[in-house]
Each structure stands twice: as C-alpha cells, then as structure tokens.
Amino acid sequence: AHGFYAGVDAIADFSLALAESDVPLTNGRGAFSSSLAEYAITAALHFNKQIPRCMGNRVARKWDKFVMAELRGKTLGLVGYGDIAKATARLARAFGMRVVALRRNASKADDPEGLVDLVVGPYDGPVQQTHKHALFSEADVVVCSLPGTAETRHFVSSAEFGAMKEGSIFISMGRGLAVDEAALCEALRAGVIAGAALDVFEVEPLPTSSPLWDCPNLLLTAHNADFTEDYFKLGWEVWARNLRCYLEGQPLATPVDKRAGY
C-alpha cells in the first residue's frame, strides 16, 4: 500500500489495520521537500525584509528607509529532522545560517552533509521540555515539520512560544495538529514572537470563523506550499520507485512504520 503524501495521518485507520498484517506501507517522503524548503525560506525572508511594510509604503507613497534584517548569521531551529527539514537546512546554509535540530532520538543524528551545527533531544526516552526549550530559546527562525500523530499533538504550545527570542519567526508546514493554534494567536497578539507562517492547520479547510484569519503578523496559506506545477509527477515518481523496489525484492524506498504513523 502507498500513501501519496509524506504524512499518512489521512489514512490513519487504514495504516493501523495494515499494522496487523504483513502488507508494507510506503509514503511520498521526499517528493515535496524542495518546494516546502523554499516556502520556509520565503516565509523567513517575508518577515526579515518586512515585505508587508514595503507593500504598504508603496500604497501610501511613503519613502521609508528602515533597517532590514538578514538571515546570514541567524539560527534556524528545526523541529523534526526528516527530508523536509534537511532540504530546509541546505537552503539555510546557502544563506549563511546556523542550524540546530531537535530529534526524537539524538543518537540517530546521521548528518553526512554536515548541515546541522547542533542536535538536541534525548538519547534514551521521550523528548523532554528541556530539549524543546534548548531549541526554541536559541533559534531566530523555527520550522516545524512534524507528522500528525497522537504524540505530536500540540507539541508546540505556549511554553515553546514563550521560550522564543524577541523578534523570532515560527513556521509550520508539517501537520497542523502539531501546533496549538490558540497559543500561537496569543503569542502573535502579545508580540511574544515577531511573526508566523502557517501552511497547515488542525482543521482544513480553515473555517472562516477561525481566529487565525485576524491574527497580526501571520502569513497564512492554504496547505499549498508544495502544490507546484510538478506536484503529481513528483508524487507518482516516488510511488513508481517503491513499486520497482517491491517487484525486484529490494528494500522499499520510503517505508512507513505503521504503528508510529510515519
């Protein structure tokens, strides 16, 4: 069986049923990592270069020579370190950023490309609040690409936003379930963080009644950061690669742990 997307939460009941069988499950991991990494960097630039202010100045015919920030020298914090996070780290490196990653198991921090400067997380046992605080307090830009599972529900909430630096940016493009949207809205309204970009939400499509629509300094997109011209081509290429592996008796390219959900 194959899930077209990297996240298999949409077929959670099906994957749990498969867990009781010998039928393998694969996903679209890696197919859309490049486009999502571009989205993360775009969002970081959106706030660092104050694009809304620039647009407003043009409309107001205002010559406003304000000081612009840059990404070079800043720290990117990655919550989760799968294919999306690795692709984001590559682009961040090109901008001269330092990279810190939070992993569920820090002992498995294989990094042959040398993309990460520091890995935080447990070597044995669950992720603790101290691990999360270490990343959120150090990063200028935090990118969350966690899957949607029972364990990741509201993984990012008030404590995490409260730990972030003044002027920092939060970006979510994994699964909306991982972010406490009410806590994010509160952090934005209180000015605890400078801005946020969300491409994924707990409920999709996002209801018109959601407070997120009225949140200040929020870049909001309709879960289409990866919906590029080559979307279907890239997705089916991963499926075809797994099919070839299966038919040739080779290890599957993107196997899913059916019980873990990713």
92, 139 contact by CB (below 8 A): no
Q: Whole-angstrom Cα distance, residue 185 to residue 181?
A: 6
Nearest CA to 120 out of 75, 158, 84 is that of 75
Please identify every residue annotated as catalytic.
175, 204, 223
For residues 253 and 245, the answer to whether their CB atoms sit within 8 Å is: yes
CA distance 43 to 39: 6
Residue 255 and residue 262: Cα distance in Å, rounded? 8
Q: Which residues pair with 170 in a beta bridge?
A: 142, 196
Phi, psi (deg, nearest 5) at residue 218: -120, 120
Residue 104, exposed/middle/buried by CB under 10 A (0-12, 13-18, 19+)?
middle
Q: Is 125 exposed, middle or buried (0-12, 13-18, 19+ CB in 10 A)?
A: exposed
Token pair 């989760």: residue: 80
Q: Measured between alpha carbons, how far is 229 from 32 in angstroms, rounded to an integer?
A: 11
In one letter, which amino acid is 178? A
Residues 170 and 196 sit within 8 Å (Cβ to Cβ): yes
Q: How many CA atoms lie within 13 A of 56 on its CB side?
A: 5
Residue 64 tokens, joined = 């406003």
